[in-house]
């Protein structure tokens, strides 16, 4: 797996792109099956004890990451678009019943595209405000999402 630099398309976007060996169908599966997602979604030493995924446009997702000290980091949202083996779009802007959340932070677009003998994996985090994007970058977006991409590749290699 190799890192590829993909420039953001706006000041409110963060992007992570990798060329990965696994086929896109396996990567998509690891994003959409709760038991697999729990194995890679949080950068170690964090864990993901909860992953409830209703993978369809309008379906809810509830993910909880847990730190070594027991602190939990919940993430709830709605899937906006699902294209099998190609694209997953979700946002924290809405909760159950399409109720707007108090503080929307981002929409995520994950794509899987055939490239050479492998897959170009791209995760785009689109933020409502440039300040949110800057905060997410300071929180360690590239390092954290990069470690998660490495963990994703490890999980998929075992499938």
CATH of the domain at 45: 3.30.530.20
Q: How many CB atoms lie within 10 A of CB 100?
A: 9
Identify the band that residue 158 occupies on the pLDDT scale cut at 50, 70 and 90: very high
| pLDDT at residue 10, rounded to an integer | 78
Residues 6+ apart with CB under 8 A from 11: 130, 133
Identify the band that residue 5 occupies on the pLDDT scale cut at 50, 70 and 90: low
Phi, psi of 11 (to 5 degrees): -70, -5
| pLDDT at residue 11, rounded to an integer | 87
Percent of the chain clearing pLDDT 70 (strictly above): 94
110-136 pLDDT, tens digit each? 999 999 999 999 999 999 999 999 999
- Total domain count for the chain? 1
79-92 pLDDT, tens digit each? 999 999 999 999 99
Residues 125 and 108: beta-carbon distance below 8 Å: yes
19-75 pLDDT, tens digit each? 999 999 999 999 999 999 999 999 999 999 999 999 999 999 999 999 999 999 999
Q: Which domain covers residue 48, as residue numbers?
A: 2-157
Residue for token pair 């980091």: 73
| pLDDT at residue 3, rounded to an integer | 55
Residues 6+ apart with CB under 8 A from 68: 45, 46
| pLDDT at residue 91, rounded to an integer | 98
In a 10 Å sphere around its CB, with 0-12 CB exposed, 13-18 middle and 19+ buried, how is residue 5 labelled?
Answer: exposed
Q: How far apart are CA 54 and CA 120, in angstroms?
A: 25
Percent of the chain clearing pLDDT 90 (strictly above): 91
């Amino acid at each position: 797996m190799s890192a590829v630099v993909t420039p953001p398309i706006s000041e409110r976007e963060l992007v992570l792109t990798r060329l990965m060996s696994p086929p896109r169908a396996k990567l998509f599966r690891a994003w959409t099956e709760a038991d697999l997602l729990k194995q890679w979604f949080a950068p170690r030493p964090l864990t993901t004890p909860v992953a409830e995924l209703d993978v369809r446009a309008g379906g809810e997702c509830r993910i909880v990451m847990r730190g070594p000290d027991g602190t939990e980091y919940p993430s709830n949202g709605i899937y906006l678009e699902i294209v099998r083996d190609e694209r997953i779009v979700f946002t924290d802007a809405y909760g159950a019943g399409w109720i707007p959340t108090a503080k929307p932070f981002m929409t995520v677009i994950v794509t899987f595209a055939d490239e050479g003998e492998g897959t170009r994996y791209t995760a785009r985090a689109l933020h409502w405000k440039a300040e949110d994007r800057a905060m997410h970058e300071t929180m360690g977006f590239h390092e954290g999402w990069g470690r998660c991409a490495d963990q994703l590749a490890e999980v998929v290699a075992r499938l």
